[in-house]
Amino acid sequence: MIVLKFGGTSVGTAESLANVKKIVEGLDDNAVVVVSALGGLTDRLISTANKAASGDGSYTEDFRQMAERHYNIIDNVVEKELAPSTKDKISPLLDELRRLYDGVNLIADLPERTLAQIVSLGERMSSVIVADMIPAARHADSLKLVKTEKWFDKNIASTRLTEQLLREELSKGPYPIVMGGFISADKDSGEITNLGRGGSDYTAALVAAALDADVLQIWTDVDGFLTADPRVVPAAKVIDEMSFVESMDLCTFGAKVIYPPTIYPVFHKNIPIRILNTHRPQAPGTLISDRTPDPESTVVGVSALKNESLITLRGHYASDGKAVSGRAFNALSRKGLTPHLVAQSESLNSFSFAIATSEVAQAIRMLKEEFAPELVDSSLEVIEMICGLATLAAVGDNIKRSPAMSGRLGAALESEGIEIFAMTDKASNSCLSFVIREEEVNHALTLLHKRLFE
Ligand code: ADP
Ligand code: ASP
Ligand code: MG
């Protein structure tokens, strides 16, 4: 069994959809195909919803263009005799979308659940089109199979229930089966939800894990996982092989090629992932598996996370890094907040971590509550923060065997005048990270890439 995921970059045009058809029809194995919305559509669905809610009447023209795009694609990819029946399936979905837009326009508001219903139409439509484009394929309804539950203010996959539903529905043929990625429904209310932007990768991983697939193939628009974001570092090269942990670190620190939670379900079941290029299917891509690291390579790639802030706790209590980090991270996790990097400086009695800027206000509130006794007796003097930062990461399983690496990379950054606000002080895991100014991040990535790979 193979699970294939085609992203928006693979299903954006009739030409790339023709490649998808060829790839799926050329398979010898049973396959489940997970697809995203047509390229760029999710952004468009959201911006049009905002227009409608704000009273901008041009939402009707946006809607018309989106409808036309879907009908054109059907005419170009679905066999002539089948196209009318595909249009009959898409037309009620477009009616639903139009009614939703008119509704938010009327009430001049865009509730979160309504937005979730609006964006779901992207994958609900694309999956029907792709299923009909491949005459042997059948369609499966992701809203019935992928269930979420509330975790703080987020919707997260109900993994047990989802695994059971996916297994019941997908382990029997006929194959191939096509379903939409990203979209889901709340396990209790049935309300439409989703797995977060970029979440089709995660849907595919849940399917692969549920079916004990032999491999999860992520088809996209680049030749594999690259040593850096190619839009920032054009010299980035394909990484032939990497470990699950390396890919997880790079994705957590901003490598957009895979949505971070994707790795867990397949890692857990030791199902390898292959990243492949829909536009160049002959390229070998990148294999992500439980490989033991190549002793020759230290760093496999670099990545960066923008919109970060640094929170620092100062005072003599902060020198007890274990106690402070344990309590701080516990307090943050009670609100579902996720800090990224830990840097402790015993001599300066400070303890710092990076966190998404959107989570800062809530994080500070939680920390003030948690450390109220220490703030009162002055064993902690202040909790301070700096915004406008980015976290830069160099990742490789062998980094822990190269104690000089963090000093070397830090010195390279400082030699170009890039100020380091915090860095992991010990290479205790597979990732070295540096907090720097956001406006310097592209320069820093280019610099580290040059030192490490060129
Ligand atoms: P899809 O629609 O296939 O899900 P995405 O846009 O989500 O595509 O992800 C693929 C894009 O990720 C590539 O086009 C590339 O520009 C970007 N990217 C960022 N970092 C990396 C990286 N380290 N390796 C490969 N691609 C990367
Ligand atoms: N269509 C969704 C998005 O653009 C999900 C995905 O593409 O993975 O975020
Ligand atoms: Mg993606």
pLDDT digits (tens, 9 = 90+) for 83-104: 999 999 999 999 999 999 999 9
CB-count exposure of residue 397 (10 Å: 0-12, 13-18, 19+): buried
Distance, CA of 201 to CA of 272 (rounded, Å): 14
> Does the structure show a pLDDT above 80 at 429?
no
Mean pLDDT of 398-415: 90
More confident residue, 293 or 313: 313
CB atoms within 10 A of CB 254: 21
* 36 in the same domain as 180: yes
Contact (CB, 8 A) for 154 and 336: yes
3-state helix, strand, coil in the chain (%, to 5): 45, 20, 35
Domain enclosing residue 193, as ranges = 2-221
Structural contact between residues 437 and 389, judged by C-beta atoms closer than 8 angstroms: yes
Residue list, CB under 5 A from ion ligand 3: 7, 198
Nearest to 1 by CA among 33, 35, 29: 29
* Tokens coding 229: 């974001």
Range in 190-194, 264-268, 296-300 with the lowest mean pLDDT? 296-300
pLDDT at 340: 83
Quick check: 427 pLDDT over 90?
A: no
Give the pLDDT confidence score for residue 348 in this predicted structure: 77
pLDDT of residue 319: 86
Pair 39, 175 in one domain? yes
Instruction: Please indicate, yes or no, if residue 275 is contained in any of the structural domains.
Output: no
Of 163 and 346, the one with more pLDDT? 163
Tell whether 197 and 314 lie within a shared domain: no
The confidence score (pLDDT) of residue 400 equals 82
The pair of three-digit structure tokens given for residue 34, joined into one six-digit string: 């997970």
Q: Report the CATH number at residue 106.
A: 3.40.1160.10
Q: How confident is the model at residue 200 (pLDDT cuts 50, 70, 90)?
A: very high
- Which of 5, 6, 36 has the most ligand 2 atoms within 8 A of CB, as the residue to mutate? 36
Banded pLDDT at 322 (limits 50, 70, 90)? confident
In the 3-class helix/strand/coil scheme, how is 97-147 assigned residue by residue? HHHHHHHHHHHCCCCHHHHHHHHHHHHHHHHHHHHHHCCCCEEECHHHHCE
Would you say residue 285 lies in a domain? no
- 334-361 pLDDT, tens digit each: 888 989 877 777 677 888 999 999 999 9
* CA 87 to centroid of ligand 3, rounded, Å: 27
Q: How confident is the model at residue 428 (pLDDT cuts 50, 70, 90)?
A: low
Under 8 Å between Cβ of 147 and 157:
yes
Q: Compute the distance from residue 210 Cα to the ligand 2 centre, in Å.
A: 21
For ligand 1, whether the C-beta of 226 sits within 6 Å is: yes
Tell me which of 118, 182, 184, 207 to substitute to probe ligand 2's pocket, judged by most ligand atoms within 8 Å of the beta carbon: 182
Cα of 239 vs its chain's centroid, Å:
19
Euclidean distance between CA atoms 115 and 119, whole angstroms: 6
Rounded Cα–Cα distance for residues 132 and 129 (Å): 5
**198 close to ligand 1 (CB < 6 Angstrom):** yes
Atom of ligand 1 nearest to the CA of 221: 14
Query: What gap in Å lies between CA 97 and CA 105, rounded to an integer?
Result: 12
In this prediction, residues 124-149 reach a mean pLDDT of 98
Asked whether residue 250 is assigned to any structural domain, the reply reads: no
Query: Among residues 200, 221, 242, which one ends one of the domains?
Result: 221
- Please tell me the number of the ligand nearest to residue 9's CA: 1
The closest-lying atom of ligand 2 relative to the alpha carbon of residue 197 is 9
Asked if the model's pLDDT at residue 297 lies above 90, the reply is no
Q: Provide the residue type at 331 as one letter.
A: A
Please provide the average confidence, as pLDDT, over all residues in the chain.
Answer: 95
